[in-house]
Amino acid sequence: MAFVSTALCVLLGLVLAYLLCRTRSSVLQTLSRLPIVLSYIAAGLLLYTTLSDHGLLYHLLTLFGIETDGLNILFQPSGVGVIILNCFKGVPFFALSITPVLSRVLNRYSAAAMNLGASKRQIGLRIIFPMIRRSAFTSALVLFNYQMFAFESFYYLGSSTPVSLGVFAYQSYQTSDLRNRAVCMAINSIMIGISLVTSLMYVYAMRKDTVTSHAS
Q: What is the average per-residue pLDDT within 199-213?
A: 72
pLDDT at residue 31 greater than cutoff 80: yes
pLDDT for residue 213 is more than 60? no
pLDDT in tens, 144-180: 888 887 777 777 776 656 677 778 888 788 877 778 8
Q: What is the pLDDT of residue 130?
A: 83
Mean pLDDT for the stretch of residues 101-130? 81
Domains of the chain listed by start with CATH number: 2-215 (1.10.3720.10)
Mean pLDDT of the chain: 81
Structural Rg of the chain based on CA atoms:
21
Q: Which range, 102-116, 146-160, 190-204, is most confident? A: 190-204
* pTM of the complete model: 0.81
Q: For residue 24, what pLDDT is reported?
A: 75
C-alpha count within 13 angstroms, C-beta hemisphere, residue 88: 23
d(CA 140, CA 86): 12
- Compute the average pLDDT of residues 178-189: 85
pLDDT band with cut points at 50, 70 and 90 for residue 210: low
Residue type, 32: S
Predicted confidence at residue 215, as pLDDT, reads 46
37-72 pLDDT, tens digit each? 888 778 888 888 888 777 788 778 777 777 766 667
Residue 7 — very low, low, confident or very high, per pLDDT cuts 50/70/90?
A: very high
What was the pLDDT predicted at 209?
61
Q: Sign of the C-alpha dihedral, residues 75, 79, 84, 88?
A: positive
pLDDT of 9 reads 93
Give the span between the Cα atoms of 67 and 194, in whole angstroms: 46
- In one-letter notation, the amino acid at residue 145 is N
